[in-house]
Amino acid sequence: MLKKQVNAEFSGMTVRELLAKGWLLPRKFIHFLRINKNITFNGKYRNMNEKVHAGEVVVMKFEGQEFRTQTSNYLIDDGYKIDVLYENDDLLVVNKPAGIKSHPNQPLEKGTLMNYVAAYLKDKDAQPYMVHRLDMQTSGAMIIAKNPVVVPILDLLISQGIIKREYLAKVSGHLPKSKGKIDFAIGKDPTDKRKRKIDGPQAKSALTYYEVLEFDDKTSLVALQLRTGRTHQLRVHLQGMGTPIIGDPLYNHDDNEQMLLHGAKQRLVIPFTNEHLVIEAPLPQYFSSN
């Protein structure tokens, strides 16, 4: 069950418009709310074509058939205290350290960020749901949902580029311009299943925007913005430009111990309120020492 309030900007919409356009709920969710009459405004059910008004309290009850993943089954692991950068009733943004996986790959696996978040949420009547991932050696801000309702909303906001994910990378060499875009399609690497390859088999379009912030004789510090979310996208795109990320164990053959890629910012749009926030993850100390 979710309890929300109608913001002034949504006042005058129909119930259907509020749910679909204002709150970006999937059509399937709206269908079940309607046929089960599982939505009330100030305690009373309202037809989908009736108007809503600012300040009204909306209660939505979900019974499970709406969700692709109804329950979160990550095992609880309290072996690491997560660094929470932002939290509300529906989501949190966590500063993931380099060197731990985002999520388990096996049913009984622990020691990943999602296991640690499950431990953090165990007394909050909430569970973690995956929204997007960071590679094991990548640090920085990562959005995690606290209920299954908000997952497709966040997915849509990310896919439409409304929520923006910004990264910092230190790379070998120099990019051709101070600012630009990289749009190489990314597919699988037929010689190594761990890797991805520009124009490899099953290639999909990919778009990254970059801006060079600093450079010296051998390296560049680059700000990056993902417009799509392909596996290893930033790593493959930068390698394809001849400027691989320093310390990348798959796409660069240097001997730096740490990959210098960090999720520096989430330009976040809060579901149900449409509030815009910028959440920043502090740059790890090892960036300045390399």
* Residues that are catalytic: 135
Using CA atoms, how far apart are residues 209 and 177, in angstroms rounded to an integer? 12
Inter-residue contact 88 to 78 (CB < 8 Å)? no
Q: Where are the alpha helices (DSSP H) in 19-178?
A: 27-35, 113-121, 150-159
Of 97, 137, 85, 133, the C-alpha closest to 284 is: 97
Q: What are the angstrom distances between the C-alpha of 202 and each of 49, 190, 192, 199, 251?
A: 44, 10, 14, 8, 19
Q: Which helix (H) or strand (E) holds 92?
A: strand 91-96
| CA–CA distance, 240 with 228 (Å, rounded to integer) | 16
Burial of 238 (0-12, 13-18, 19+ CB in 10 A): buried
What one-letter code names the amino acid at 157?
A: L
Token pair listed for 250: 């798959």
Q: How far apart are CA 47 and CA 87, in angstroms?
A: 33
